[in-house]
Structure 1
Amino acid sequence: MIGIVVSRADSASVHIGEHLLELADWDERTDGDRPDADGGGTVFARDGFELREFDDLHIDLDDPAAAFDADLDLLVVVSRHAGETGPLLTAHFTGNFGPADYGGDPGRFARACPNAQRAVIEALRDRAPDGYEVGIEATHHGPTEPTVPSMFVELGSDEAQWGDPEGARAVAAAVLDIEGVAPDADRQLVGFGGGHYAPRFERVLNETDWRVGHIAADWQLKAMGAPEDNRDVLRRAFEASAADLALVDGDRDDLAAALEAEGFRVVSETWVRETAGVPLDRVAALEADVTTVEEGLRFGARVDADDYEVVSLPDGLLGEAQGIDLDAALSAVRETTVAFHTTEGGTRAVGRAAVAGDGYDELVSRLCDVLREKYDSVVRDDGAVTATTRAFDPAAAREFGVPEGPAFGKLSAGQSVEVDGETVAPEDVSKERLVEFSV
């Protein structure tokens, strides 16, 4: 059940509420046990939703969820957004990392709903009128008391948009679109740093399967003060986000140290992206057995294999293949392994890998195929791959009287040359080159 809060002190909230009532069939009843100003009086209900109106500005309400008779799974406050951002539809969580200048309590947070936020952002993006941007914001203002997962869904950014029927209708429709969506997912993190409109965390939300709970923008971290002195505030942000991972935007060693002292892991955006879609217990096992994502672990196409063993990659063969066709060689590694070690920002495979079944043999065969682009013969036998080719031999060319310079270049490129009226063919001045790779 989703409870919807409309504030009569906010014209945009009222406007969105009107469109909510127009877009669906609602049952009306009177709640005489609670004052009309505090969510009583006329109450609107339909399958999955209950809507109540309050006189006070929503950021000043203590716990509006307490006014609802239903057992709420989620609380949505429809609101205006004010700022110099142009037409904008947005969603965010409430709380204060520092002082409570705009409602709520200092250092306290309402329970976030990261999965529902992602769903409503997707719905807003689908329904946004022309000219409107869609985004998320960092955590700010009150209320901080709700224990029911909650968020603000907003129409902005000034009076022209607050009274815009298309914008209000888009917000109303997006709220109705999230009926039945769970507040949480199994992959949630807390964000720290960056600007108020949180572009890094919005990328994570839009481009990975991770959800983002409370976000402390730069200005909020400054307001909070020294991280070590505010570990209780940091801990509450994680508890209110149902998360134990942190993504930090920028270099903040003092913050990272305080988070790790509280038992929270600080991860990079690379870690978040690379682990998308990979079971977290498998991520932990492979990081323990091979190396960490931060040190170059990348996941292969067989990451879901029931079991695996860790082996050394055939570095000589692999290095030669990567020198011939880097993309093909890296694809061979990715498609035949559970996970593998990389260097140079994940662009070159090296070291160890986790493989399942006949994955290692398939990898060697695929790398041999890459070598055949350069070598005349590639044979695997008795733990080794032998590659042979015929190559230009400068010493033999000199014996034929070929002068160094352009003629050498032509012969090396497979072209015949004339020397004192005689034709010297490439095969006349070449010899077989043999290279052996241990596998």
Structure 2
Amino acid sequence: MLGIVISHADVASTHIGEHLRSLRDWETSVDETRPGSEGGGTVYRTDGVELREFEALHLDIERVGAAFDSPDLLVFASKHAGETDELLTAHHTGNFGIAEYGGEDGRFARACPGAHTAVVSALQRHAPPDYEVGMECTHHGPTAVGVPSMFVEVGSAEPQWKDPDAAAAAARAILDLADEPADKPRENGTRRHLLGVGGGHYAPRFERVVRETDWAVGHIAADWSLDVLTEWADSDEERDAVLERALQASAADYALMEGDRPDLQAAIESLGYRVVSETFVQETTGVNLGLVEALEDTVCPVDDGLRFGELAPGYDGEWTVLELPTELISDVRGVDNEALRETIERQSIAYVTEQNGTVFTGPIICPAGTDLRAVVDPLVEILERRFDSVEWAADELIARETAFDPDLARTAGIPEGPKFGKLASGESVEIDGEEIGPERFQRERIRRYTL
């Protein structure tokens, strides 16, 4: 069940609440067990959604989840104040250091990374034309909520807080969460959740991850948050305890870091979590994390060149590692590198590359039982653009070409220079008044690839 918190002390929240009530048919009841200022009084319910109103500002409300009837997710409808223009935004709550604006020092509310991803998308769908949609770092309370939660906000000043179109957009986006789980599904004993480390307050890198991949982001420690943490923590142990709490509150086993922070990376890894690159996040999108782990353990890590082919998404069967001759890969690449890459991607679960994933080197990982010849045949088609013939002979591929041999030309007394170029291009040349054809200086070359 989705719980929605409306604060009468927040003008934007009040307006969002009005639009929420206008968008659905709500059943009302009266909760006499709680004061009206603390979520009691009139309660609104509809289709898996419960809305309650409070007098205090959101960041001052503690254990608000207890006011609702077994919620799975809580959304605080709120205003955003900042130096930005028209903005719809969402973020999780907590403090990486001293709690200046609600909550406890170095503590975090349980994040809802899956629902957060969904609401960023929903805000984009519903946003008025002049409004941008963004994400923020973790920067204020409350920290004791009792259920996965986040803020959904309209900003960044009073004209926007009172803008009916902005309030309606936020209300629609919140209602779109009625059937959304708080977290990404569990796979391979983990979830596609990231702790964000570094960057600016509005977290463009982490927003890109949310928009472009199937990974979600929980708490985010912006650069200024890390400075606050450093100033507040009395020791490395206290700093590490805060990082541990942030990871746990994000339900994350992974961290994505912006910038070079070896001390923080070492600290996070010493706690038993993995710091991954944006390349890892992008490349593993759509690929089962169990398969990713198995291939990284057996072949090589993504950051060392492992890439996933068209067969990877949804694949959960057995696989085999096929080694292709280095000479074959090199010759095919020399004919058409793009066609080589497309052919390998089409046939593979995964493959190994160099130069930031741009150059295929092998091996190739295919479904168990894949015939090596079936993998090589499309490469033969590329080779045939260069060679006169390419044929199989038992476990050997033989490529033949007739080409200009400069040694034959030198032996015949042909001077090096333009005439060499013409002969190499298949043209005749004139020497001492005699026209000489290129075939006199051609020799058959054979390339053998053992498979």
With the length of structure 2 as denominator, give the TM-score of the two structures: 0.93
Cα distance in 1 for partners of 2:356, 2:407 equals 42
> Which residue of the other structure, out of 438, 442, 445, is the alignment partner of 1:430?
442
What is aligned with 1:263? 272
The letter of the residue matching 2:208 is R
Runs of 4+ residues over 4 Å off in structure 1: 398-402
The letter of the residue matching 2:346 is E
The letter of the residue matching 2:363 is R
- Structure 2 SS opposite 1:101: coil
Cα distance in 2 for partners of 1:227, 1:421 equals 87
The letter of the residue matching 2:298 is D
Q: Establish whether residue 374 from structure 1 lines up as the match of residue 386 from structure 2.
A: yes
Once the two structures are overlaid, the 10-residue window that deviates more, 360-369 or 15-24, is 360-369
String of CA shifts for 1:302-325, please: whole Å, max 9, x gaps.
332621222323211011111221
Cα distance in 2 for partners of 1:358, 1:152 equals 50
Cα distance in 2 for partners of 1:305, 1:242 equals 25
- Structure 1 unpaired stretches of 5+: none
Residue pairs, 1:280-319, within 5 angstroms: 280-303=289-312, 304=315, 306-319=317-330
String of CA shifts for 1:227-265, please: whole Å, max 9, x gaps.
554221111111111111111111111111111111111
Q: Establish whether residue 234 from structure 1 lines up as the match of residue 217 from structure 2.
A: no
Q: CA deviation at 1:167?
A: 0.7
Cα distance in 1 for partners of 2:349, 2:38 equals 57
What is aligned with 1:272? 281
String of CA shifts for 1:351-379, please: whole Å, max 9, x gaps.
43323222532222222222111111112
Cα distance in 2 for partners of 1:255, 1:350 equals 34
Q: CA deviation at 1:390?
A: 1.2
What is aligned with 1:144? 143
What is aligned with 1:199? 204
What is aligned with 2:353? 342
Q: Establish whether residue 364 from structure 1 lines up as the match of residue 383 from structure 2.
A: no
> Which residue of the other structure, out of 344, 353, 356, is the alignment partner of 1:333?
344
What is aligned with 1:87? 86
C-alpha contact (below 8 Å) 2:66/2:146 kept by paired residues:
no
Residue pairs, 1:123-162, within 5 angstroms: 123-162=122-161
What is aligned with 2:333? 322
The letter of the residue matching 1:67 is A
Q: CA deviation at 1:62?
A: 0.8
Quickly say closer, same or farther: Cα 1:292–1:127, change in 2 above 3 A: same
- Structure 2 SS opposite 1:209: coil
Cα distance in 1 for partners of 2:198, 2:307 equals 26
C-alpha contact (below 8 Å) 1:227/1:255 kept by paired residues:
no
Q: Establish whether residue 389 from structure 1 lines up as the match of residue 394 from structure 2.
A: no
Cα distance in 1 for partners of 2:46, 2:236 equals 45
- Structure 1 SS opposite 2:121: helix
C-alpha contact (below 8 Å) 1:92/1:117 kept by paired residues:
yes
Residue pairs, 1:156-195, within 5 angstroms: 156-186=155-185, 187-195=192-200
Quickly say closer, same or farther: Cα 1:281–1:85, change in 2 above 3 A: same
Cα distance in 1 for partners of 2:227, 2:324 equals 47
Q: CA deviation at 1:209?
A: 0.7
Q: CA deviation at 1:328?
A: 1.2
C-alpha contact (below 8 Å) 2:291/2:316 kept by paired residues:
no
The letter of the residue matching 1:290 is V
For these two proteins, the number of residue pairs brought into alignment is 438
Q: CA deviation at 1:404?
A: 2.7
> Which residue of the other structure, out of 392, 405, 411, is the alignment partner of 2:417?
405
What is aligned with 1:49? 49
Quickly say closer, same or farther: Cα 1:16–1:362, change in 2 above 3 A: same
C-alpha contact (below 8 Å) 1:401/1:419 kept by paired residues:
no
Q: CA deviation at 1:333?
A: 2.1
Once the two structures are overlaid, the 10-residue window that deviates more, 112-121 or 406-415, is 406-415
The letter of the residue matching 2:391 is V
Once the two structures are overlaid, the 10-residue window that deviates more, 413-422 or 168-177, is 413-422
String of CA shifts for 1:183-226, please: whole Å, max 9, x gaps.
11131121111111111111111111111111111111111126
Q: CA deviation at 1:8?
A: 0.8
C-alpha contact (below 8 Å) 1:37/1:56 kept by paired residues:
yes
Quickly say closer, same or farther: Cα 1:332–1:26, change in 2 above 3 A: same
